[in-house]
Chains A and B, each alone.
Chain A
Amino acid sequence: MENRKKRILVIDDDADHLFIARELLTREGYEVLTHQSPFGVTGLIQAADPDLVLLDVNMPSLPGDDLAAFIKADDRTRHVPIVLYSSTDEDYLRSAIVQHRLEGYILKGDAANFRMKVGYFLQDHMTNDAAYRRGLYAVE
């Protein structure tokens, strides 16, 4: 378990985004799984048990924030951290992560800092308090 690579599941309906994310993260030493559809994700999460899910938002057949709500509503999948990965308006992403109690969001378009941000969400020592301060959690 100690030496197991961190496993990241990336969901996006765009093949280019999936390719870039896979390449960037693989070079960083992560194990990367990609899936080019919002469908079949809950099954995939149960089968692969990823350490993090990166989820595109703007998917016409099922928007990522709705999909995230499904994942968080299911006892078998809700423990997996979900980070929205999108070019959508930041205010929208912020309210989506608060509403569905997701771990956070990363804006597409900042390729240089993408891996640093992913690494940040994979840190074990990120406390709830730090997450709250970054606006990543809703407080009851």
Chain B
Amino acid sequence: MTNELVLIVEDEKDIAQLLRYNLQKAGYRTVVACDGDQALSVARCGKPDLVLLDIMLPERDGWEVCRRLRASEQAAATPIIMITALDAEESRLRGLQTGADDYITKPFSICEVLLKVRKLLDRSDELQTHRRRRTEAETQISYLVHELKNSLSIIGGYALLASEQDGTCDYLDRISTTTEYMDQILSDASLLVRLEKGAPPPALEPLTLNEVIEDILGAFRITAVDKGITLHLAGGTGCQVWGERSAVCQIVTNLVSNAIKYNRTGGTVCIRIDEQGDGVDLSVTDEGPGIPPDQQNRIFEKYYRCPGSEHVKGSGIGLYVVKLLTESIGGTVRVASDRAVGSTFTISLRRAGDAVLAVRSPR
């Protein structure tokens, strides 16, 4: 078990020797680097399990080595113990801020060094096991989702072919509708897994909001016509916001899909873009039954569904995803609702100036 590799970064030969001797005696493998550059190249090739890092090094000091190790792919999560002769609080804090996990001050007791090394290695072992299990679970989920979606699309495909051949049997259309619904749930679930993984926030780009929305509305026209619902887009031509395309597409898709699903037959879905100083409000209004005041702050909760909405198929994920995505691009979401009129969901985003068409046209 204790065959872990410890990288000792220390320019004073005696101290390096002392650490090396005692670590080897305790069963670790060791490698010594006597300056920062050597330490970085050893860390890159040798992949140590832990780094003992002296602060006072020639040329690159320990803080910089620590920063670079943390920024590197190989040593981003490797435990680092700083060794410092300066028994000053400032020096310790700076080490911890740069990403060190612990520190030892000179003169040190060998016993303390060995204990701290063991403790950090055990913890990093646990973390790695945990991380590996989570990755495995995620891979498994995405594999299952893919296979299920593939099979569903075959069922849906045959149902459509059969229904076209013999239009008298509406059971086939029900099969199609159900497979589409299942497909949607699987997409939502895999999106949720990804969002909750805590991925870094997406890079923001300027988006011309009305263009993004027009494209999405195109895909909704058929569903809307089926329910006799009219889709309106008003305001904000050329107005740009800071966002991320796939996040904004998903937000608008979920809101418009809800506004159609919960609308009255023959109703209207109105999408408005309002410029508000530095911000832009994007609102989606339906003519549905409205949301009671005591439910309004709950509808963004995961899996929450309003009492009385049972007749409409849904998994209770859509608005939760809207909230997560809106916040990931630095926006906010709110709802206003009147039982007599309908509901309005409003997304507030940061404005990014107006579209300059010449810049946007690709070759």
B179 touches A128 (CB 8 A): no
> Which of B124-132, B211-219, B281-289 binds A?
B211-219
A16 touches B212 (CB 8 A): no
B157 touches A20 (CB 8 A): yes
The interface size of chain B toward A, counting residues with CB under 8 Å, comes to 34
> Which of B45-53, B71-79, B145-153 binds A?
B145-153
A14 within 8 Å of B (CB atoms) = yes
Q: A109-B180, A132-B362 are known contacts. Are A88 and B161 too (CB-CB below 8 A)? A: no
A contact patch SS:
helix
A46 within 8 Å of B (CB atoms) = no
Interface size class of A (residues with CB under 8 A): 20 to 34
B150 touches A129 (CB 8 A): no
Contact partners of B215 in chain A: CB under 8 A: 133-134
B154 within 8 Å of A (CB atoms) = yes
Of A111, A128, A135, most buried by chain B (CB within 10 Å of CB) is A111
CA distance A67 to B246 in the complex (A): 25
B219 touches A113 (CB 8 A): yes
Of chain B, the residue at the smallest CB distance from A85 is B153
B29 within 8 Å of A (CB atoms) = no
A16 touches B194 (CB 8 A): no
A37 within 8 Å of B (CB atoms) = no
A135 touches B245 (CB 8 A): yes
B156 touches A111 (CB 8 A): yes
B190 within 8 Å of A (CB atoms) = yes
CA distance A139 to B205 in the complex (A): 13
Mark A7-28 against chain B: 1 for CB-CB distance below 8 A, else 0.
0000000101100110110010
A110 touches B362 (CB 8 A): no
Contact of A17 among B153, B160, B245 (CB under 8 A): B153
A35 within 8 Å of B (CB atoms) = no
Contact partners of B160 in chain A: CB under 8 A: 24, 111-112
B109 within 8 Å of A (CB atoms) = no
Using a CB-CB cutoff of 8 Å, which residues 231-253 of chain B contact chain A?
245-246, 249
Contact partners of B161 in chain A: CB under 8 A: 20, 23-24
> Which of A47-55, A71-79, A89-97 binds B?
A89-97
Of chain A, the residue at the smallest CB distance from B143 is A58
A87 touches B180 (CB 8 A): no
A133 touches B211 (CB 8 A): yes
Of B160, B179, B194, B245, most buried by chain A (CB within 10 Å of CB) is B160
B150 touches A108 (CB 8 A): yes
User: How far in angstroms is the closest Cβ of chain A from B107?
Assistant: 54
Mark B141-177 against chain A: 1 for CB-CB distance below 8 A, else 0.
0100010011011101111110010000000000010
Q: A129-B361, A137-B362, A140-B362 are known contacts. Are A91 and B194 too (CB-CB below 8 A)? A: yes
Contact of A111 among B150, B157, B187 (CB under 8 A): B157
B222 within 8 Å of A (CB atoms) = yes
Contact of B153 among A58, A91, A111, A113 (CB under 8 A): A111
B363 touches A87 (CB 8 A): no
User: How far in angstroms is the closest Cβ of chain B from A62?
Assistant: 17
Give me the interface of A with B, judged by CB distance under 8 Å: 14, 16-17, 20-21, 23-24, 27, 58, 87-91, 94, 108-113, 116, 128-129, 132-135, 137, 139-140
Q: List 30 A-B contacts (CB under 8 A).
A: A14-B154, A16-B157, A17-B153, A20-B154, A21-B157, A24-B157, A87-B150, A88-B146, A89-B146, A108-B149, A108-B153, A109-B152, A109-B156, A109-B179, A109-B180, A110-B156, A110-B183, A111-B156, A111-B159, A111-B160, A113-B222, A116-B222, A128-B363, A129-B360, A129-B362, A132-B360, A132-B362, A133-B212, A134-B215, A137-B362
**Extra contacts besides A111-B153, A137-B362, A140-B363 (10): CB < 8 Å:** A16-B154, A20-B154, A24-B160, A58-B146, A112-B180, A128-B361, A129-B362, A132-B360, A133-B212, A135-B245
